[in-house]
Chains A and B, each alone.
Chain A
């Protein structure tokens, strides 16, 4: 393997985007979670929700900041490292990316300021509106970027002129075949990532306090965990169904990728569901295969004798690397089923009334904190490595997409990114941990008749002394 500009650019892109995706995956869900909390606060006036909002909005701000700065890098890398890709796809993908910027990024950015700093400067409803706009912005952003990515997987609505893709039908470009389900799968993945992160962090906060600690200290963490687990219990099964449907699309539009996912070398009916195998790309076979007969065909085609394509149907140079695709997919699915298990377990404990006290469960939920991030990352490994050797499936090879730059320049930039991201990510995690250790502000001084009653000025109730925003008084609107 030669460390040329191509390979180094691939490593750099993989590294920077894998780092980046962690934050949107979290903030897409968190933004909606914050909107839900604020909605509940406005609806019930229960200060518990306000305190929860004020806690999770800090977590959101740190994550969003990291997402923004790592995202700017992405929008320039298409050009710096993949200029031939830009040349080939610019007519088609350029406007799609531009739509993301003008419809999503500005919306998020403008209302983020109001959401974070505008407490005293705008009314209740307007603040809630700002939160909703931030949440909407994250979803619109995901819409366009997943449309662009899906077009690279299942390009449609274009023609090739002069060695470049030119748009013919914009509707087909944007709503290309794999887009709707990929969008659903990803957004749901983001929501579940957030749900498990919130549940896990709340479980950790509960574990840190003895279970006979004052109710006020625990209430916020309990409410967070309960809400997040309800969401997970209901939507993990939905996600599994969406994932299955998405798989049918891969079978139809990207048969070679599917063959790699399944580790299927020969076209066959009655394919087993391979739980484990060591794929051997030289001998074109699997070793140590463990599978359940016929179930593989059934999952993919919904018929036991369904025919599944094989890797050998295309020449070796048109196949993706089988190992990473095969295993990434299995890790993602395993995480998904672990999530399903947590959801069912939480239901059982709710029924028994020990959801917040069962330490084994709380520990398990805590361990599952990063599970969504893992599932999202391994899902993307499957999708993106499975697309190889193409960058635009069937039309442009990754090897033909790289910029005319030197290996030296990319080595330097790659090393810099690794060091900088490790540094920034390290501190980001440290500050997040600090936030979590402190936890939501207790609500002990609001109880009895006050609980459930809405104060006139929601963000200036007496207990605010704890957080004390001197800026409130001293920031007159001139």
Chain B
């Protein structure tokens, strides 16, 4: 594939490719679905009233658990088919991953505890906000560290505890906060009404601008990482094939801005997803076929053919069903959230 993995033949060549595609889909799913509910958490603190916060939380309460399951699939999937990548990446990312998990604990329990609390409610408002904010920040740092690459001997991580921490990874951490906040805001535009919706629109415009600035900053910085990623983009004939990507991105951003101004309800959210997918595609093009940058490819890190096949059979059968009932769960809770949710007395609470 593009001159990579040529020493592998047959299934040993194709399975890692198929699996990278599947895991890329799982990670993209995660970024989109948990992205918007983390984004709702990031906006949570800025909401003007208790009623707004109740409605925002209720818009994601029935589905957040399923959304977070994609994160487990990301970790579990890596272990299942690229266990060498899992074994190198996890120790290398020890600090940001543990901190992300702890942040997720706080925001996860906030869903349950907030409705049971009286005097301690502010505690879980804060847990939800800071949990969402920090989980996002550390996810962004993980992304930045991934683009930078990891010291390794082909089997284990050989670098230091804080290798991940650089100005670049801080930038990607902040960028992801902007991006998820945009997703969360357009989600609120889609799922809420009245004053809250108007406010969400304003937030969406603000975070759209910040997201664009952040995407540009990251793109400009990448050549300075010394990973030669830019040569992949700016050599002939690649540049001809790849040039449309930034152009389409710019158009989607413009369309999103117009949609928000024009008062559209649904399309801003899906355009934001488009924006994320374009960024994600750019990342994929920059990094392929390394899943432990800078040196280990998907073929170097993959499990035996038997393991990949065994897992693939299950995925082929189960994943469509999973998609179907997950989509159904979303369908059940379609439509805008009611404006009159008082005192947490809705749902089963």
| B314 adjacent to A478 (CB under 8 Å) | no
Number of contacts between A and B (CB, 8 Å)?
Answer: 273
Contact of B170 with A by CB under 8 A: no
The verdict on A86 contacting B83 (CB below 8 Å), with A65-B111, A69-B108, A76-B97 known, is yes
Q: How many residues of A contact B (CB 8 A)?
A: 84
The proximity string for A residues 34-78 relative to B, scoring 1 for CB distances below 8 Å and 0 otherwise, is 000000000000000000001001100110011011111101101
How far is A118 from B328 in the complex, measured between Cα atoms in Å? 12
A116 is contacted by which of B72, B77, B88, B347 (Cβ under 8 Å)?
B347
| B156 adjacent to A72 (CB under 8 Å) | no
Shortest distance between the CB of A365 and any CB in chain B (Å): 25
> Contacts of A99 on B, CB cut-off 8 Å?
311, 314
The verdict on A478 contacting B105 (CB below 8 Å), with A94-B80, A427-B120 known, is no
B155 is contacted by which of A76, A87, A472 (Cβ under 8 Å)?
A87
| B161 adjacent to A409 (CB under 8 Å) | yes
Tell me the chain B residues, 294-349 only, with Cβ under 8 Å from chain A: 303-304, 306-307, 310-311, 314-315, 318-319, 322, 325-326, 328-329, 332-342, 345-349
Residue in A closest to B327 when the chains form the complex, CB atoms: A110
Residue in B closest to A432 when the chains form the complex, CB atoms: B116
| A420 adjacent to B348 (CB under 8 Å) | no
Contact of A91 with B by CB under 8 A: yes
Shortest distance between the CB of B101 and any CB in chain A (Å): 5
| A103 adjacent to B318 (CB under 8 Å) | yes
Contact of A122 with B by CB under 8 A: yes
| B303 adjacent to A431 (CB under 8 Å) | no
Contact of B112 with A by CB under 8 A: yes
Contact of B251 with A by CB under 8 A: no
A114 is contacted by which of B62, B73, B79, B349 (Cβ under 8 Å)?
B62
Residue in B closest to A425 when the chains form the complex, CB atoms: B109
The proximity string for A residues 76-116 relative to B, scoring 1 for CB distances below 8 Å and 0 otherwise, is 10111101101100111111011111110111111111101
How far is A73 from B105 in the complex, measured between Cα atoms in Å? 9
| A83 adjacent to B315 (CB under 8 Å) | no
Segment of A242-250, A264-272, A463-471 in the binding face: A463-471
How far is A403 from B326 in the complex, measured between Cα atoms in Å? 36
User: Beyond A61-B348, A113-B329: 17 further Cβ-contacts under 8 Å?
Assistant: A65-B112, A72-B71, A75-B75, A79-B89, A84-B87, A86-B79, A94-B307, A102-B73, A102-B314, A106-B69, A109-B65, A122-B332, A166-B304, A168-B306, A403-B91, A474-B340, A475-B335
Residue pairs across A and B with Cβ atoms less than 8 A apart, 18 shown, are: A72-B68, A76-B98, A78-B79, A86-B86, A90-B303, A99-B311, A102-B315, A102-B322, A103-B318, A108-B65, A109-B69, A116-B348, A409-B94, A409-B95, A428-B113, A431-B117, A469-B346, A474-B341
